Amino acid sequence: MPLAPLTPLKCQNLLAQHARSCITLHPVLPDNEVVGTKLSGRSFFGGTPLLPPDFEWPCASFTPDGSDDKLPVPLVFCLQLDLSELVPYDAYQELPDHGILAFFSVGDSFNFNEPEHSFVVRYFEHYDQLCQHPRPVVAGVDPKKENLELPHLELSAQRDWSFPIDAPSYEDENADALLASLGLSVQVMEEIWDNLEDLAAELKEQDGIDVESNEFAERSQMLGYGHFIQGNDIQGPDSTLLLTLNSFFDNAHNEWVTLYGDAGALYFALKTSDLKARAFERVVGDMQCY
C-alpha cells in the first residue's frame, strides 16, 4: 500500500534535516473542513468502543468529588484505531499493519489516584468478534459529573512532518542515549536550541510550517517527535511516543470539543522494543496541562 503524500520540505536547515514523518489525527465535525482522509467506522474518538464480548474494562483507584473513598473505577475510553487504515501514513512501518488499538486514560478527570494504572492500551489482532461495549457503571459515581465519558467523534488522518523542537533536553544526564534513540545528538540539539528562532522562521518562510504556533503544538499525533506542555517525563531511551491526544478547540463554533485539564494533553509511550513486540500492555502515560 503506497504511502500517503507528504510535500517534501524546501527548507534544508538543521531543523528540517532532522524532520520525521508522523500521523496527525483530527476530529471530523459538522461545518468543519475534513483534514486529511476520513477514516472508517472502526476508527473513532470517544463514545462506545468496539471490544471483545469478554473484555475486562481497565480500572484504577478513583476518589469521587466530595468523598474520601477510593473506588476501582473504569477508565475513560479515549479512541480506537483500525491500524490497517494507518498503513499509508506510517512511513517507518512502526505500527502493526492490522488489528485494533483501543486507548483508555484519565480523560479530563484529576481524581484517579494511580498514575501507573491510569493509561492503558489494548491491541486486538482480529476484530471480527468485536461488539459495542459500554463503559461499566459504578454505584455512586456520576460519569458526567466526574468527566468520565468523551463525545463520539469520527476521525480523519494525515501524514505530517514533526520536528525536534521539544526533544528531550540535551542537558539531561541520559541525554546521549535519549537523543541517539531519536536519531539526534547533544551537539545537534545544542545548535537547534541556540538557533531555534531563526531556524523556525526559515521553515515558516520556505514551507509555511509554523512550529511555534499554537495550532502546531496542539495537534493530536502518533509517532514522530513529541511536543510536551510541561517537559518530557515519559519518553526515554529506546522509546516511542505512541500517541499525543490534545484538547481540541472548534474554531467554527468557538467552543472546546474535548478538554483535558486546562487545555492539556494525554501522552502514551512505550519502549520501541515493546512496540515491535506488540506489547502494548506495557504503555506508560502522562497528563499535562497549562
236 has a pLDDT exceeding 70? no
Read off the C-alpha cell for 107: 480523560
For residue 189, the model assigns a pLDDT of 84
Answer yes or no: is 5 within a domain: no
The span from the CA of 82 to the CA of 124, in Å, is 10
Residue 237: pLDDT band with limits 50, 70, 90: low
Angle at which helix 186-194 crosses helix 196-207, to 10 degrees, equals 80
The radius of gyration of the chain's CA atoms, rounded to the nearest angstrom, is 19
Range of weakest confidence among 164-173, 179-188, 238-247: 164-173
CATH of the domain at 277: 2.30.320.10
| Calpha distance 57→182 (Å, rounded) | 34
pLDDT at 94: 95
- What was the pLDDT predicted at 242? 95
Tell me what the mean pLDDT of segment 238-250 comes to: 89
The verdict on residue 4 lying in a domain is no
Domain that holds residue 177: 14-288
Let me know if residue 225 belongs to a domain.
yes
Residue listed under C-alpha cell 484505531: 81
Domain assignment present for residue 81? The answer is: yes
**Average pLDDT, integer, range 245-251:** 88
Q: Measured between alpha carbons, how far apart are the two ends of the chain, in Å?
A: 40
What is the number of domains present in the chain?
A: 1
Per the domain annotation, does 60 fall within a domain?
Answer: yes
Residue 86 lies in a domain: yes
pLDDT tens column, 152-176: 999 999 999 999 887 655 556 666 7
Please tell me whether residue 117 adopts helix, strand or coil conformation: helix
The predicted-structure confidence for 41-69, as pLDDT tens digits, reads as follows 999 999 999 999 899 999 999 898 878 88
Section 236-254 average pLDDT: 85
Is 66 among the domain residues?
A: yes
38 in Cβ contact with 51 (< 8 Å): no
What residue ranges in the chain does DSSP mark as E strands?
Answer: 20-28, 37-38, 44-45, 50-51, 59-62, 71-74, 76-82, 100-105, 120-124, 131-132, 153-162, 220-222, 239-246, 248-250, 255-258, 265-271, 284-288
3 part of a folded domain: no
Q: What is the pTM of this model?
A: 0.92
Q: What gap in Å lies between CA 91 and CA 30, rounded to an integer?
A: 30
